[in-house]
């Protein structure tokens, strides 16, 4: 291939990748974090194609099979393989829609088999212990208590908590407005305890220097910008270790615990779906697998067949 042809091909490949990023943002409506995840996974394929001197418009079914086999060989977990493959299928679907290719090489690629992995869940006592471990002598102590209580009280994703705005707080009505995946908004009930912790934090927040453009953010870092996801991850890891909790937990554990405790308390699965912002009830149904003993007890206690059986036993 002539140097000018290589240059032209490289320019076209770069233009395709830019156009794909725009497609994810404007046409698919994905959040910045989700877009970044798609692009990160796609970069793995692009690196492989460059090493094999294969253009994105020349990829075959066999090329993709070789790439996926390579993921397996280097020990990438089947769940991560499936996520990467999902992003790749999205990319080739885009190429097909935009007429860059005439046949989708990813169409017949099957995802690896994934067993159900139940999320780690904290007990109410463990959550209280973690919150009680917050050092209230530190200037950010009340902020940290408010963060933990809001995560658990409202079942928020960590990105939703980081982007929570003062203008989204409707405390008199007992709700907060949350912007979830794809920019979709929902109203989430908030407990009196979480409201109290946030109100205490807002009294401290008045004395913090806030950077321009972050005046409306509820939770701030010490330097006046919105708190980051990684800071909350670190905070929870440190507090859990300090509290002597050995479970592998993250901010998402508070969300899982929120949903599980609601289910155990008798909440309707559809209501939990709305509060979590799940698009599909299938995503929410994972929580029905967490406490099988509780669900079995409910069936034994309330199902008509079991009621009749208990009555027979009582009279004989």
pLDDT given at position 180: 81
Mean pLDDT of all residues in 177-204: 89
Mean pLDDT of all residues in 32-56: 87
pLDDT surpassing 50 at residue 295:
no
Residue 188 — pLDDT band, cuts 50, 70, 90? Answer: confident
More confident residue, 82 or 130: 130
pLDDT per residue over 99-149, tens digit each?
888 888 888 877 766 555 556 789 999 999 999 999 999 999 999 999 999
Q: Which domains occur in the chain, in start order?
A: 3-97 (1.10.150), 124-295 (1.10.443.10)
- E strands in the chain: 169-170, 175-179, 185-189
Cβ atoms of residues 12 and 18 within 8 Å: no
> Which positions are annotated as active-site residues?
157, 181, 252, 255, 278, 287
pLDDT per residue over 218-229, tens digit each?
999 999 999 988
Residue 26 — pLDDT band, cuts 50, 70, 90? Answer: confident
pLDDT given at position 114: 58
Tell me how crowded residue 285 is: count the other CB atoms within 10 A of its CB.
Answer: 13
Mean pLDDT of all residues in 237-243: 93
Residue 262 — pLDDT band, cuts 50, 70, 90? Answer: confident
Mean residue pLDDT of the chain comes to 82
Give the C-alpha separation, 160 to 86, whole Å. Answer: 24
84-91: long-range contacts at Cβ-Cβ below 8 A with a sequence spacing of 24 or more? 84/41, 84/44, 84/45, 85/109, 85/111, 85/112, 86/111, 87/37, 87/38, 87/41, 87/42, 88/41, 88/42, 88/45, 88/64, 90/24, 90/28, 90/38, 91/20, 91/38, 91/42, 91/45
pLDDT given at position 284: 53
Residue 230 — pLDDT band, cuts 50, 70, 90? Answer: confident
pLDDT surpassing 90 at residue 9:
no
Mean pLDDT of all residues in 167-186: 87
Give the C-alpha separation, 298 to 292, whole Å. Answer: 10
pLDDT given at position 315: 47
Q: What is the DSSP letter of 181?
A: G
- E strands in 68-112: none
pLDDT given at position 283: 54
Least confident of 3-7, 58-62, 71-75: 3-7
Residue 2 — pLDDT band, cuts 50, 70, 90? Answer: low
pLDDT per residue over 138-160, tens digit each?
999 999 999 999 999 888 988 89
More confident residue, 87 or 72: 87
pLDDT surpassing 50 at residue 292:
no
Q: What is the reported pTM?
A: 0.58
pLDDT given at position 270: 74
- Cβ contacts of residue 73 below 8 Å, gap of 6+? none
Residue 309 — pLDDT band, cuts 50, 70, 90? Answer: very low
pLDDT given at position 293: 47
pLDDT surpassing 50 at residue 282:
yes
């Amino acid at each position: 291939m002539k140097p000018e042809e290589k240059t032209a091909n490289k320019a076209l490949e770069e233009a395709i990748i830019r156009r794909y990023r725009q497609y994810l943002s404007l046409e698919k409506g994905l959040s910045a974090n989700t877009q970044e995840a798609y692009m990160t996974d796609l970069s793995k394929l692009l690196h492989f194609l460059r090493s094999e001197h294969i253009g994105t418009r020349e990829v075959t079914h066999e090329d993709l099979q070789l790439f996926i086999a390579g993921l397996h060989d280097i020990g990438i977990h089947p769940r991560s393989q499936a996520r990467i493959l999902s992003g790749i299928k999205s990319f080739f679907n885009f190429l097909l829609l935009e007429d860059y290719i005439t046949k989708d090489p990813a169409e017949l690629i099957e995802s690896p088999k994934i067993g159900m992995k139940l999320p780690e869940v904290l007990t109410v006592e463990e959550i209280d212990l973690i919150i009680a471990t917050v050092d209230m002598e530190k200037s950010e102590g009340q902020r940290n208590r408010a963060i933990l209580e809001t995560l658990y009280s409202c079942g928020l994703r960590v990105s939703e908590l980081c982007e929570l705005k003062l203008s989204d707080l409707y405390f008199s009505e007992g709700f907060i407005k949350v912007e979830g995946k794809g920019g979709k908004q929902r109203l989430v009930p908030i407990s009196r305890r979480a409201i109290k912790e946030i109100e205490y934090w807002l009294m401290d927040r008045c004395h913090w220097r806030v950077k321009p453009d972050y005046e409306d953010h509820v939770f701030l870092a010490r330097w006046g910008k919105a708190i980051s996801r990684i800071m909350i991850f670190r905070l929870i890891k440190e507090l859990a270790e300090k509290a002597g909790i050995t479970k592998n937990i993250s901010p998402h554990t508070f969300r899982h615990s929120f949903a599980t405790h609601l289910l155990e308390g008798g909440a309707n699965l559809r209501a939990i779906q709305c509060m979590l912002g799940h698009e599909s009830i299938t995503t929410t149904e994972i929580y029905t697998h967490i406490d099988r003993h509780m669900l079995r007890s409910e069936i034994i206690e309330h199902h008509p067949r079991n009621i009749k059986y208990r009555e027979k036993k009582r009279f004989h």
